[in-house]
Amino acid sequence: MTIAETTSLLGQPIDIREDEQLLRGEATYVADLRLPGMAHMAILGSEHAHARINGIDTSAAAAMPGVLKVATAADFAGVMPLPCIWIPGGVESHFPPHPYGLPGSRPVLSGDVVRHVGDPIAVVVAETPKQAAAAVKAIVVDYEPLPVVTRADRAIEDGAPQLHEAVPNNLNAYWTCGDKERTDRNLAEAEVVVELDLVNQRTINSPMEPRGAVGHYDQATGDYTLYASTQGPHNHRFLLAALVLGIPFNKLRVVAPTVGGSFGTKGYLYPDMPLVLLLSKELNRPVKWVDTRTGLMNSTVQGRDHRQHVVLGGTRDGRITAVRCTSYANLGAYPSTIGPGVATALMGRSITGMYDVDAAFCEVYAAFTNTVSLGAQRGSGRAEAAFLMERLVDKYATEIGVDPAAVRRQNLVPATKFPYDNGLGWTYDSGNYQENFEKALEMAGYADMAGRKAEARGRGKRLGVGIATYVAICGVGPSTRMSQEGMLGGTWESCNIRVHPTGEVAVTVGSASTGQSHETIFAQVAADQLGIDPATVRVYEADTLKAPYGQGTYGSRSYSMAGPAIALTAQKIKDKMCRAGAAMFKVPEDKVVYANGKIFAEGDEENGKTFAEMAMAMWYHWYLPQDIEPALDETTHFDPPDFNYPFGTHVAVVEIDELTGETEVVAYTAVDDAGNIGNPKIVEGQIEGSITHGLGQVLMEAAEYDDEGHLITSDLRTYALPRAADVPFFQLGKTVTPTPHNPLGAKGAGEIATVPPAAAVANAVVDALSDLGVQHIDMPITPEKVWRALNGTSGAAQ
């Protein structure tokens, strides 16, 4: 057959079909679900960050109006603890136990000891949410407070409070990557060495929709259904059925209704999921639980939280020869489902970014503390890596008196060196870093900054400019490779395409959108590949009963993982149509042409068939050869040969008010390379949201725990999130370097632009204050910290 060149739908900014129902508030979230006979669950979380529980009195709660059940850990003695499935790869690690010998995490309810504020102790199920909430308050817990530790570096010190019997000194793992000897030698021999102590502060994932779960046990069939805000329904089904509940896989269905954002929080197992299922079975009624904002902040995985000592060595003339990072990663009280892997591999292997560095080494002490569990947050690991590297490069440039842009230019990995082994474990697939870097500098007007600085000074403002580059591993990924990284599971993706007799198409994928416009882009990929109108394509996902197995949405993977699965499946459909066409047109297969959704014998387009006519013909299957099966229904499972590595250069321009210390980001240029882009409208939305997310961390966001382990910033009145008015108009550009690792040439896009903004803005602030000798200001860079730096007072500035 011949597949003719056709006008591509890919790359077109077609309208996002999900937006209208989302913007009108018409989409159905977990909180909107109403099942007949549904009861409501509330969870009692610990008031103490670390305490022994000497007793729980539930009698008053049980007697309250509408209360159907009060349960504590004793009610779930037969239920397994939640497992952890991404552990630090290749090193000794210590976890709480799981009966299958797997790394364990936490019990569904804590019985003897609580380890963070919010640690679930008891639940109430009542007729209404209000009754359940009221009854939870009537449960009396006899706590015996224990000493508390909230910092990873302190948790591994001798004499620190101990969280888990099976984890000596709270040390989950000491993990390393890179060449320690060579790095240390290069540092010892370096002409210039610069160092920084960095706090990449903990941040709170703040999707618009907090999590929720509805459990429904059908007594007639013995089937369980979980409706949950999940970004990976198949994974949740497997982990819950096999490793927590111990029920047949066939008995559990997981459905994700519309999910209102995730940013890395909704792929995890949380105690509420097994709890609603177990209580539904016990009460023979559907049981619903929906979190509050403050509940989310005390239960849902948080992000970042590394304390680092970082060192860079180089020559006097600007050649970087070594980078070394020692990091203390705070995993929280229990390992989240994938937390330990995020804190080690994603960060450590990424620390040299776009630079061709002779030797690098990273060591991570991953430790448990009395805080909420750590997980991914958009850009996780890679953002921490870019922050340390880009801050180091600026300090190095200042030290040797060379323009920071020139130092970067001198050290970029040359375009001729791909695939490039970064010496830390990643092999960069493709890149043209020079083109990307120069484009960003030109768009930002980097060459003209001196004049702008002088002009701003006349207005009482200090203008600063900061550059940050990055490489962000995405497209997770190759399953075997991920197993080497400590992932206990597969990371492939899937697609099924079913062509209806009318020629309409159903595309079903294993992924599950949490706001990434999957319906639009997956229909666009299928329509492009099949040469049909995208309006005739429906996309289904997020229901384990209907969707082919897949791993969900995370790590900016869906377009570069499910997208190729769709393209490969469409190819199977076209191949089959052409084989049928050969029989119908009575020509050899290689004389059948498929073009723009039409099938015809070469040179005879007039007597060809449309896509819809072929669909109907295959549905009837009249007079077709026996070796061509009826109907058009194909499935592909895609496991890529390796990851993909998007990259980019961001330039931030800030103005600092000399009197108040307020920092305003007045211009922001981002040039990102995500390979071939399917729908620029979707990608631009993700990039703008990602930059805003990064600006939040550098300027205002911080999860603050007091010494007793109480989260001080436990609602949106105390935890600042960036609003539209806080960010400038973003000047976006792109370069396009396709990956060889999938048929679309697509790289990850959803989180990549979260990686560099914190470093770009921090560099810009330090640039604005450089004449004062300021070398670093810890995030979040608040007006008071800058004011103190301006006045040379107190310890805010190093």
Binding site for another protein (CB under 8 A): 129-130, 133, 292-294, 659-660, 662, 699-700, 715-721, 723, 726, 782-784, 787-788
Of 137 and 316, the one with the shorter C-beta distance to another protein is 137
Q: Minimum distance from CB of 201 to another protein (Å)?
A: 13
Please check whether residue 601 is in contact with residue 607, taking contact to mean a CB–CB distance below 8 angstroms.
yes
At closest approach, how far in Å is the CB of 782 from another protein? Answer: 7
Report the residue number, 220 or 724, with the smaller CB distance to another protein.
724
What is the C-alpha separation between 298 and 293, in angstroms, rounded? 9
Of the candidates 363, 476, 514, 436, the residue with the CA atom closest to the CA atom of residue 670: 436
Taking alpha carbons only, the member of 261, 293, 378 closest to residue 27 is 261
Task: Indicate the length of the chain as a whole number.
Answer: 798
Euclidean distance between CA atoms 770 and 394, whole angstroms? 11
Residues 686 and 750: beta-carbon distance below 8 Å: yes
The CB-of-279 to another protein minimum distance in angstroms stands at: 20
Is the Cβ of residue 91 or residue 721 nearer to another protein in the bound state? 721
**In the complex, least distance from residue 772 CB atom to another protein, rounded to whole angstroms:** 17
d(CA 514, CA 553): 8
Provide, rounded to whole angstroms, the least separation between the CB of residue 244 and another protein: 29
Q: Which is nearer to another protein, 98 or 293 (CB)?
A: 293
**Which lies closer to another protein via its Cβ, residue 215 or residue 661?**
661
Parallel, antiparallel or unpaired: strands 120-126 and 67-72? antiparallel
What gap in Å lies between CA 462 and CA 455, rounded to an integer? 9
DSSP 155: H
The distance of closest approach from Cβ of residue 753 to another protein in the complex, given in angstroms and rounded to an integer, is 22
DSSP class of residue 344 equals I
Letter for the amino acid at 650? H
> How many C-beta neighbours within 10 Å does residue 55 have?
9
CB of 153 to another protein, least distance (A): 23
Least spacing, CB of residue 289 vs another protein, in Å: 13
3-state secondary structure of 690: helix
DSSP calls for 217-257: EETTTTEEEEEE--S-HHHHHHIIIIIII---GGGEEEE--
Nearer of residues 153 and 701 to another protein, judged by Cβ: 701
The nearer residue to another protein, 293 or 579, going by C-beta atoms, is 293
Write out the H or E segment, with its range, that includes residue 131.
Answer: helix 129-137
Letter for the amino acid at 347?
M
CB of 794 to another protein, least distance (A): 9
Q: How far apart, in whole angstroms, are the C-alpha atoms of residue 403 and residue 433? A: 18
Q: 264-273: string of b/e by CB count within 10 Å (b at 16+)?
A: bbbbbbbbbb
At 29, is the secondary structure helix, strand, or coil? coil
Best CA proximity match to 562, nearest among 536, 539, 532: 539
Q: Which is nearer to another protein, 429 or 701 (CB)?
A: 701
**Angstrom distance (rounded) from CA 84 to CA 335:** 6
Cα distances (Å, whole numbers) of residue 495 to 9, 403, 428, 504: 19, 49, 27, 16
CB of 130 to another protein, least distance (A): 5
Assigned token pair, 339: 């937390």
In the complex, least distance from residue 207 CB atom to another protein, rounded to whole angstroms: 17
CB of 702 to another protein, least distance (A): 9
Alpha carbon of 241 to those of 71, 102, 225, 267, 269: distances in Å? 21, 15, 11, 16, 12
34 or 717: CB nearest another protein: 717
CA terminus-to-terminus distance, the chain: 68
Closer residue to another protein (CB): 552 or 722: 722
Q: Which of 38, 146 has the CB closer to another protein?
A: 38
Q: Which is nearer to another protein, 52 or 130 (CB)?
A: 130
